[in-house]
Chains A and B, each alone.
Chain A
Amino acid sequence: MGLTLRLSRVIPDCRSCPLYRFKGCVDNTAGSQRRGSFDNLRTINRHLQTSICLYQAEEGSSNAEDPDDVVNVVYIDRSGKRIPVKAKVGDNILYLAHKHGIDLEGACEASLACSTCHVYVNSAHFDKLPEPEEREDDMLDMAPMLQENSRLGCQIILTPDLDGIELTLPKVTRNFYVDGHVPKPH
């Protein structure tokens, strides 16, 4: 159980990630549980954080754009505004959002311990995503306004066939059910 915790803590399940380079970047020492989880990481995870700070580092995005590598993504923010983004194969939807100043929270830093990166995936691409693992489904159950096309953004890794994917951020409702009641979809 301990190993699973460490692997899952910072980045999504490596087994589902097509990129080899993600595999070597998990810190296995006890220190990885501290603040500064990104201390020893060499990936784009390192500078990601809250919606307050503008993403500055450019590592992970190459300047020489290989057209085969480019994946076009559209975020639809909570006000309904469409934000097209040019991403790359292997990019993570949560961190990509942070990189472009889109207010998708990732409280647990992609370790499947919260549901704050909840997004709706457009139907054309929803079925192209690999099935969620049980732990993602468990956390999705906690998300308000759960829909058939709900996924956690931190678990979506871009592949070439996801070109054109559209991710809608759930509108935050004022009528929030704090007792955990999830309204039936209608």
Chain B
Amino acid sequence: IGWSGKAFLSTSCCPKVCIVGSGPAGFYTAQHLIKARQDVEVDIYERLPVPFGLVRFGVAPDHPEVKNVINTFTQTAKHSRCSFYGNVNVGKDVTVGELQQAYHAVVLSYGAEGNRRVGVPGEDLRGVYSAKDFVGWYNGLPSCRELSPDLSCETAVILGQGNVALDVARILLSPLDTLKKTDITQPALEALAESQVRKVLIVGRRGPMQVACTIKELREMVNLPGTRPEMVAADFEGVPEALKDLPRPRKRLTELLMKTAMEVPGDKELERRKNATKIWGFRFYRSPTEIFADPSHSRTAGIRLAVNRLEGSGERAQAVLTGEVEDVSCGLVISSIGYKSLPIDPSVPFDSRRAIVPNSVGRVHQAAGLYCSGWLKTGPTGVIATTMNNSFDTARSLLEDVDSGTLDISTGKPGSQIVSMLLEERGVKPVTFSDWEKIDSLEMRKGEVCGKPREKLLTVEEMLKVART
């Protein structure tokens, strides 16, 4: 690199830890480390000028309580032994190797920015989007700003039956009056105001007892004003009998799903459904095989679904093709079959099959001083609470290693001193947490004007401009 490590050694031997990624994984790891030892200093690096990762860009706009966790993260960021450096692209502006030289330990918590492809013809047609991009679009993720999804069709098909699929369905069908009061972006609000989508099918390979969503989100769909459910009763064959053996969470979820699909509603609910103008429903035992184009527009006009049957039961049930197919007309296909982590630095071991960094309880294999937490560690499933436990586990592993001497903290490390120098040489100017607070205040002030909690800035350029004021 051209600098002598010794010249910059700090005299203290307090452990210095670097965390890459400022979403829940990064912040919960930092929180645990700072609380556990009075001498640990933590620096969090984030590629965007703004922190909080999926809490800001993934959690649905109509779930503001879930975002309360930002208050916890803010306290961590403002702790005297924690520093935030936004606008730093690890892997490009500074390498993981350089970070490892500067810090006693590096924790990779940069999540999953890619998505699993469906792998069928027609996947790249206009009108076909990944849920990751669609969610990023309505949540103001700068890289998704140009998505401009075409909502001028009546039917939308969502592939996947997890919480992200339900979020997308709910945002597509929510009354505009509800969305207007959230932090959904202005362009998304305008697009949804013009949307002609009236029917949303949420399609899964397997059956009702394998849905990956959770009951809170299902209940929100059931109670969504202006909508009514429409499902296929035959899909629930065998389900009532299997209920009694299910563990509580799966049982309650399946009961609600069954009730919604099959129970004859009371008068009040019948009336409500009669007045509903929008329809939603799960479709089971269906796998996509091809997405068709409308010849005159080269956008999607429909999707071919192969019909499955189940082999085995419970979580391990497998979908097996029957040979039958079914074609569904639709103008919008959103694939919600999972996010995927990407490798950001060739020096970091990466398991491309599972798309995670290989590790044992957060300790990266064959890489001393390197740890990982969050989705990068375990794969892209779980809610914030899951990630919290996961991150605390990694922090514990790191602390164990300090205590046992596996992680050597006897020599001081320069930490951010040297990294700041490298970044300056490379023309990269980090955004501090107080810089973010300027962006935060501006967004909230802009939001107040139109009755929203905030009006998000939509480009990195705008964010940096405000950060530098």
Q: Which residue from chain B places its CB closest to the CB of A148 in the assembled complex? A: B248
Q: In the bound complex, what is the Cα–Cα distance between A109 and B388 (angstroms)?
A: 15
Return chain A residues, CB-CB under 8 Å to B393: 172, 174, 176
Q: In the bound complex, what is the Cα–Cα distance between A33 and B35 (angstroms)?
A: 27
A5 within 8 A of B: yes
B378 within 8 A of A: yes
Return chain A residues, CB-CB under 8 Å to B389: 144, 172, 176
B312 within 8 A of A: no
Task: Show 30 A/B contacts (Cβ-Cβ < 8 Å), sorted by A.
Answer: A8-B65, A30-B181, A31-B448, A34-B454, A37-B68, A50-B75, A52-B34, A52-B35, A52-B79, A109-B65, A109-B71, A111-B68, A113-B63, A113-B65, A116-B384, A138-B216, A139-B216, A141-B215, A141-B252, A141-B253, A172-B389, A172-B392, A172-B393, A174-B361, A174-B393, A176-B389, A176-B393, A178-B378, A178-B386, A178-B390
Instruction: Digitize A1-41: 1 where CB-to-B-CB distance is under 8 Å, 0 elsewhere.
Output: 11001001100000000000000000000110111110000
CB distance from B374 to the nearest CB of A (A): 11
Contact flag A112-B65 (CB < 8 Å), given A53-B75, A138-B219: yes
CB distance from B375 to the nearest CB of A (A): 9
Interface residues of B in 201-256 (CB under 8 A from A): 212, 214-216, 219, 223, 225, 247-250, 252-253
Q: Which residues of B contact A (CB under 8 A)?
A: 31, 34-35, 63-66, 68-72, 74-76, 79, 178, 181, 183, 212, 214-216, 219, 223, 225, 247-250, 252-253, 315, 361, 378-379, 381-386, 388-390, 392-393, 440, 444, 447-448, 451-454
Return chain B residues, CB-CB under 8 Å to A51: 31, 35
Contact flag A37-B384 (CB < 8 Å), given A8-B65, A176-B393: no
Return chain A residues, CB-CB under 8 Å to B74: 35
Instruction: Digitize A139-164: 1 where CB-to-B-CB distance is under 8 Å, 0 elsewhere.
Output: 10111101000000000000000000
A81 within 8 A of B: no
Q: In the bound complex, what is the Cα–Cα distance between A51 and B453 (angstroms)?
A: 26
Partner of B379, one of A5, A113, A178: A178
Return chain A residues, CB-CB under 8 Å to B223: 1
Q: Which residue from chain B places its CB closest to the CB of A139 in the assembled complex? A: B216
CB distance from A99 to the nearest CB of B (A): 16
Q: In the bound complex, what is the Cα–Cα distance between A172 and B32 (angstroms)?
A: 14
Q: In the bound complex, what is the Cα–Cα distance between A30 and B34 (angstroms)?
A: 33
Return chain A residues, CB-CB under 8 Å to B63: 113
Q: In the bound complex, what is the Cα–Cα distance between A141 and B382 (angstroms)?
A: 13
Return chain A residues, CB-CB under 8 Å to B252: 137-138, 141
A52/B385 in contact, CB under 8 A: no
Q: In the bound complex, what is the Cα–Cα distance between A176 and B385 (angstroms)?
A: 12
Return chain B residues, CB-CB under 8 Å to A107: 68-69, 72, 384-385, 388
Return chain A residues, CB-CB under 8 Å to B447: 30
Q: Which residues of A contact B (CB under 8 A)?
A: 1-2, 5, 8-9, 30-31, 33-37, 49-53, 103, 105, 107-109, 111-116, 134-135, 137-139, 141-144, 146, 172, 174, 176, 178-184
B382/A178 in contact, CB under 8 A: yes
B448/A30 in contact, CB under 8 A: yes
Q: Which residue from chain A places its CB closest to the CB of B250 in the assembled complex? A: A182
A179/B315 in contact, CB under 8 A: yes
A138/B388 in contact, CB under 8 A: no
Return chain A residues, CB-CB under 8 Å to B72: 49-50, 105, 107
Partner of A108, one of B69, B214, B249: B69
Top 9 closest pairs, chain A to chain B, by CB: A141-B249, A111-B65, A113-B65, A33-B453, A109-B68, A107-B69, A138-B216, A178-B378, A33-B64
Return chain A residues, CB-CB under 8 Å to B68: 9, 37, 107-109, 111, 113
Interface centre among A31, A34, A51, A103 (most CB of B within 10 A): A34
Contact flag A138-B215 (CB < 8 Å), given A34-B454, A52-B76, A178-B378: yes
Return chain A residues, CB-CB under 8 Å to B390: 176, 178
Q: Which residue from chain A places its CB closest to the CB of B27 in the assembled complex? A: A50
Q: In the bound complex, what is the Cα–Cα distance between A85 and B464 (angstroms)?
A: 48
B253/A114 in contact, CB under 8 A: no
Return chain B residues, CB-CB under 8 Å to A111: 65, 68
Q: In the bound complex, what is the Cα–Cα distance between A52 and B35 (angstroms)?
A: 6
